[in-house]
Chain A
Amino acid sequence: MSEAEPHVRVEKLVKIYGNRTVLHGVDLTINRAETLVIIGGSGAGKSTLVRHLIALERPTSGNIIIDGTDISSLSEVALARERRRFGMVFQKYALFDSMTCFDNVAFPLREQTKLSERDIREKAMQKLKELSVDHAANLTPAQISGGMAKRVGIARALVMEPELLIYDEPTSGLDPVTSRTVDDLIEEMREKFGVTSAVITHDMVSAFDIADQIAMLIKGRVVAQGTPAEVLDHADPSVQSFIRSSGVDASRFAQRRPRSPSEALAEKAIARKRARVADAK
């Protein structure tokens, strides 16, 4: 097995709004086909950090290097080309309310590909079906529940099969069962298509379930980055207190040794298979 290859590198990222510094020199690496979960309290700068990964914000200083290209200094046109390889699931769904759910999912296909309307229909409906929201295809976002809107938002981000997917609180506002479905989907995207993911979440169960790497952000600084087990064992008292108050069962992870990505994949696949068998019973 070859060494993990960095897909995204954030170097000394500083973001200042007016006289407020939100990010104080963040350094971060996301390896190809791995999932990095970013945790931290509200106002820690998590959303600002991921908005930089997709160039919705420009850094005050520092670099965002994706596949060797520094996207922080690209022109609007060059950036549009790069963005075809990204997808983002927004916290507040960000569905276009002037369109039906189907048209929302078909939108990136219509804008970025030359597929026929028939192929677009097929692909978009398939994604809606995978997320169990195909019955809402002809409804507008205002006519569906928050949980359904979230799934339509995820379908829209996945339909282009991007290389890098960013999820801003994908499970917030969802019931526990749907949350786990979303977790499975994030896993599946990585396993099937080798997608690199960055996930912001407050759902610690989900964080420790899907992460290859966890980064903890406190007041605009990365205080810990490593595998879930490494973060659990981290010496920093602020990390420990955050994890304790989140109620994560540390014993589940404490025994684990550091794994290679392939081992991690195998482990998770086995765990999921067991869970499915248990469900079936």
Chain B
Amino acid sequence: MADAPENPPQGLVASLVALTAPVREAVEEVGTVGDLALRAVVWALRPPYRLQLVVVQFEFVGVQSLFLVGLVGLFTGMVFAVQTVYGFRRFGAENMVGGVVALSLAREMAPVLTAIMVAARAGSGMAAELGNMRASEQIDALETMAVNPVQYLVVPRLLAGLVMVPVLTLVFFLVGLGGAWIIGIKVLSLDPGIFADRIRTLIQPADLMQGLVKSVVFGVAVTLIACRHGFYASGGAVGVGQATTRAVVWSVVGVFVLDYILTSLLTPVG
């Protein structure tokens, strides 16, 4: 009979199934996010273009994250300056601090930490909001009113991630440099002229480009993963909670995996 449940696997098969579950989940994650991305691109190109919704999301992802990203950027720059001075003093290279902090902020810290902050703040909010809309049939209601929910809900959020995460990354970078400046010049009494000069000589356009490329990719990934979990949430309040948790966890994992892939593609070593 069609209703009868399948026989559950036993013994070795059961262990194998359990062991490979996270891998299968990860593959499924990539598949569904890819599918949503494709649909979002197709629907982004079709009219109507709802600018007002995009502005709302720019405000939510960008403006509302500004203070948080600035705060984290400031402390990251300060901590990095202290640690670098501590290490570099051992071989008398503390004058390199400005350049080294700028380099690590531009290539790694700013894009990665900004993306993580956006995932924690905006990503969780998106997953919860879309999850609730799914649970209360609001997404179905959109569909019945001939409004494509991917176009109406996912596209504005995706555009906000695409544009605002790079902007926030730039803010993180500049504020982080400011933090390093405060520690280096005001607290540790380094020479401001040399500090600034090392930044100029060490930082190349390619470093800034790497930061920019990463921030764009992370911005898209974080918002897509958040939207995917909210959009396909099921199971009422519990389901929405799980969707929000998964959105943040998978966004952060995604950022680190993508960071490695992009770094190895964009960094000529050996």
Residues of B within 8 A of A90 (CB): 137, 140-141
| Cβ-closest chain A residue relative to B50 | A111
* Interchain CB contact under 8 A, A83 and B138: no
A81 to B143, CA, bound (A): 11
Most buried by B among A81, A91, A108: A108
> Does A88 make an interface contact (CB < 8 A)?
yes
> Does A139 make an interface contact (CB < 8 A)?
no
> Which of B5, B6, B136, B145 has a CB less than 8 Å from the CB of A112?
B145
> Does A16 make an interface contact (CB < 8 A)?
yes
> Does A80 make an interface contact (CB < 8 A)?
yes
Output the least CB separation between A48 and chain B (Å): 13
Output the least CB separation between B68 and chain A (Å): 23
Known: A16-B2, A21-B2, A94-B136. A84 touches B141 (CB 8 A): no
> Does B146 make an interface contact (CB < 8 A)?
yes
> Does A87 make an interface contact (CB < 8 A)?
yes
> Does A54 make an interface contact (CB < 8 A)?
yes
The binding surface of chain B is classed by DSSP as loop
Output the least CB separation between B17 and chain A (Å): 16
> Does B148 make an interface contact (CB < 8 A)?
yes
* Interchain CB contact under 8 A, B145 and A107: yes
Interface code A61-100, partner B: CB below 8 Å = 1, 0 otherwise? 0000000000000001000110110111011111111000
A80 to B149, CA, bound (A): 11
* Interchain CB contact under 8 A, A20 and B3: yes
Interface code B1-28, partner A: CB below 8 Å = 1, 0 otherwise? 0111110000000000000000000000
* Interchain CB contact under 8 A, B145 and A94: no
> Does A250 make an interface contact (CB < 8 A)?
no
Output the least CB separation between A220 and chain B (Å): 9
Output the least CB separation between A163 and chain B (Å): 13
Residues of B within 8 A of A112 (CB): 145-146
* Interchain CB contact under 8 A, B137 and A94: yes
- The 11 sampled A-B contact pairs (Cβ below 8 Å) are A20-B3, A76-B148, A80-B146, A83-B144, A87-B144, A90-B137, A107-B145, A108-B146, A111-B48, A111-B145, A112-B146
Query: A residues bordering B, Cβ < 8 Å?
Result: 16, 19-21, 24, 51, 54, 56, 76, 80-81, 83-84, 86-88, 90-97, 107-108, 111-112, 160
